[in-house]
Amino acid sequence: MFWLFVGIAACANLSILDSSAQSYPIKPIRLFVGFSAGSAPDAIGRTLAPILLENLGQPLIIENRGGAGGSIATATVAKAPADGYTLLMMAAADTLQPALRANLPYDLERDLAPVSMVATGTAVLSVHPSLPARNVKELITLARAHPGKLNYGSSGVGSSSHLMGELFNLMAEVKIAHVPYKGSADSAIATVAGQIEVSFPSVVAVGSLVAARKLRALAVTSAKRSSLLPSLPTVSEAGLTGYDRSTFFGVVVPTGVPKDIITRLNAVLGKVVNTPEIKALLIKQGLEPQTSTPEQFASFIHAQIAQNAKLIKLVGVKTQ
């Protein structure tokens, strides 16, 4: 009789879970972004929100919690109830933090469950027009001839653009000095002003500056060319074989969210991101739409954490 009761109770619990997943969502969903309004992950969230409303029947509320390389928002989501109503727009910077910050209040892989990749992005290796380097090989030659004399800007110590510059130094066997700024826009402005020689602005930001001849674009940092700048080679194609530093964005939830809810969110994100309308909007932002299964995203995150830890150790970026 006892085991019969246990079996009935278990079936009842499963029915409740199934019912919960089928009725989800019944209230607005919060999407946390670890960066300020206007940043790439914020723009992605706001691009997806209206179409997700149409598909889920509930609004997606964007909540910006900037600071500490995105880890403030990540910590908030990691500690949130595992009910599917709190999401995080994860960015590439999140996979840098475990190697940069010794006392994070969460474990990225233990406390967060991947839902789907949304998009990947790239930056543009750019120089001031007065610099006598019209391609990557010429920049390497110039940097080798003047070690420590050239400067590159980033959006801060431990940022994606900082790692882009340090990987370039490492692979090209050069020493271009690092100058951190508050953001990638500040770094690009400093390059335009001639305060530094090299920077890694976004694909969108660089377009008008190159057209106005205020910057010279040499190559994109990703392994593949950008759809927005298809004629611009990759750094790898242009002379530094194997170089690849990309950005990525995807949705994760607190660990413990029912699998059926994760499956539903994954299906909806896959449908929405791959519509012609959203694809066009993301490409216009300099991003490449890319969705995945939760398992594929989990493997990708694991590999990114390992690669970033190795690179940070090699280049000697100081942890906090």
In this prediction, residue 208 carries a pLDDT of: 86
Taking a C-beta distance cutoff of 8 angstroms, is the pair 187, 161 a contact?
Answer: yes
Alpha-carbon distance values, 243 to 134, 170, 233 (Å): 18, 10, 12
In this prediction, residue 14 carries a pLDDT of: 47
Q: Splitting the chain (320 residues) into consecutive groups of 10 residues, what average pLDDT does each group show?
A: 46 50 90 88 94 95 90 96 98 92 94 98 96 98 97 87 93 96 85 97 87 95 92 97 94 98 98 96 93 98 94 79
Entry pTM: 0.83
Domains parsed from the chain with CATH numbers: 20-121+247-315 (3.40.190.150), 124-220 (3.40.190.10)
In this prediction, residue 2 carries a pLDDT of: 42
